[in-house]
Chain A
Amino acid sequence: MSTGETRSHGNPFKANWLVRAGWLLALLYAMYAANLLDISLSRFVDGLGNGAKFLGEMVPPNFSRWKLLVDNLVETVEIAIIASAFGILISLPVGLLAARNLMPTWITWPFRIFIALCRSFHPVIFAILFVKAVGFGPLAGILTLIFASIGFIGKLFAEAIEEISLKPLEALRAAGAPFMSVIIYAVLPQVLNRFIGFSSYQLDANLRNSTMVGIVGAGGIGGTLFSAFQRFDYDFLAAILISIIALVMISEYISVQIKKVFQ
């Protein structure tokens, strides 16, 4: 107004005071919580010193017990592959039965709840449960990762199926195709690429997780890692960490190659 320009419209972007108050509240809470948990700069600086000492003891890595290392790595890979295979196999029907565009509500409900249950616990919690149920060893790890896989790719499979075009399905139903043929011809081609992507991603995730389930006794290299920690065996620990990194990088490379084949 003061510049003399005509002003027939107000500012179209209204300030949202509620959102601003929300941000302020979040900031205040973060400061309060940091105070409560005794997080302070001096503790962080002290920690840096400890960290440097710890890192110093890790060099040079000690590969003298390479046989144990290889045995453990093989078991880790076995856990990951078996769990992925069964996880994917079970996720295929589970994902299909949980897809709301193809199935009636009374079918999708129980399967969506099942997927949600598989997702609701972190693999470590599942691993603890299965170690209690079936005892120490790789079987507990395999079961853990099967459930973790269903929770993850089961949901992704269902969502991929829910995004497909229903037009070819209509055509095949109109032609009198039985249900399984409709799935094989109209649903599968639309989701296959994405399923392969999800599956190779899950294999990757399972490899990383199978190095961890051993910490609670569910098999794989995690157990050795944990005991190396407890025995202050930091040079052997470094060797384990390096081999885990190598393993994950190799699996990354393989999954890229797999995706190339199915492009």
Chain B
Amino acid sequence: MSTEPQQQTTSQPPRSLRVDNLVKEYVAGKPILSNISFEVSGKSSVAIIGPSGTGKSTLIRCVNKLIPPTSGDIYVSGENITRLRGAVLRRARRKIGMVFQEFNLVERLTVMENVLCGRLGYVAPWRAWLRRYPQRDIEMAFTLLESIGLIDFVHQRADSLSGGQRQRVGIARAIMQEPHVLLADEPTSSLDPKTSVEIMELLVSLTETHRIPLIINIHDVELAKRFTTRIIGIARGGIVFDGPPAELSNAHLKEIYGGENWLQ
């Protein structure tokens, strides 16, 4: 595919994310996440499942430091980004793409402008302001929009799109960053079941062609099993399951979500 990032060559190590003993306490002494460790690399899609309020969103936001972790280390393609601040942190964040539950697009900007927002970390503010993006970025945006079926919407404002189309724009924006890992925070929760499946398909196929490891927060266990190759179950702040979907049994689900009547 022509949208494939150019710096990715076979000689480089695969893109990866490693989380080491991550702890997050909003209130001292009451960790919402305790000692979370996992590693994702290459072409793999990982679903993080768990009940609401268990800290899935916190975990994902600790990775790109939108929420500062209390302790632990985060490595993106080998670089420890945990203690970075200011401009260095911003440069590290370019390597972490993020897709949001409520899309988080700029409603009053066009689809093209929203997609190019993914390049803001690379482009000087004055150039971005004058919309003078490098030609390479523009070509990449068009190719990407073509591949996600939104080429006819380039000049439409984001607020004129449907939910599924908005999430496609959100995904394109994240891919534009040429990230080393893609985080998706409940990407289907605001969508209907059919659109949810389409969005999951798109996420998995795009990250596979671009060889970006994918981490998805999702509460829909069936979708997780269907589209990912690995599932991490979180309950009470810790990892209670980590393995392929086939190994996820009802006993595990009972441990993750509690209760059992819903499993019938």
Q: 8 Å CB contacts to B: which residues of A182-202?
A: 182, 184-186, 189-190, 192
User: What per-residue 1/0 map shows which CB atoms of B123-151 lie under 8 Å from chain A?
Assistant: 10100110000000000000000000000
Interface status of A261 (Cβ within 8 A of chain B): no
**B176 — nearest CB in chain A belongs to which residue?**
A175
Instruction: Report which residue of B113, B117, B173 has the largest number of chain A beta carbons within 10 angstroms of its beta carbon.
Output: B117
Note all chain A residues with C-beta closer than 8 A to B87: 178
Chain B's closest residue to A177 (CB) is B120
Q: Please, which residues of chain A bring their CB within 8 A of the CB of B253?
A: none
Give B133 Cβ to nearest chain A Cβ, in Å.
12
Known contacts A167-B100, A189-B106, A189-B109; is-contact A174 B125 (Cβ 8 Å): no
Interface of A is mostly: helix
Stretch at the interface among B13-21, B23-31, B91-99, B218-226: B91-99
Pair B106/A184 contact, Cβ less than 8 Å: no
Contact B93 A180, beta carbon cutoff 8 Å: no
B217 at the interface (CB under 8 A from A): no
Q: How many B residues, CB 8 Å from partner? A: 33
CA–CA, A75 and B173, complex, Å: 51
User: Within A120-168, which residues are at the interface with B (CB < 8 Å)?
Assistant: 165, 167-168
Q: Are B118 and A167 in contact (CB under 8 A)?
A: no
Residues of A within 8 A of B177 (CB): 175-176
Residues of chain A with a CB closer than 8 A to B113's CB? 185
Residues in chain B within 8 A of chain A (CB atoms): 64, 66, 87, 90-94, 96-98, 100, 102-109, 113, 117-118, 120-121, 123, 125, 128-129, 170, 173-174, 177
How many A-B pairs have beta carbons closer than 8 Å: the answer is 82
Inter-chain contact B100/A177, CB cutoff 8 Å: no
A246 at the B interface (CB under 8 A): no
With A171-B117, A185-B109, A185-B117 as contacts: A177 and B104 at CB distance below 8 Å? no
What residue of chain B has the Cβ atom nearest to residue A183's Cβ? B125
Name A178-236 residues within 8 Å CB distance of B: 178, 180-182, 184-186, 189-190, 192
CB distance from A4 to the nearest CB of B (A): 50
The 7 tightest CB contacts between A and B, nearest first, are A176-B121, A177-B120, A176-B93, A180-B125, A171-B104, A176-B94, A167-B104
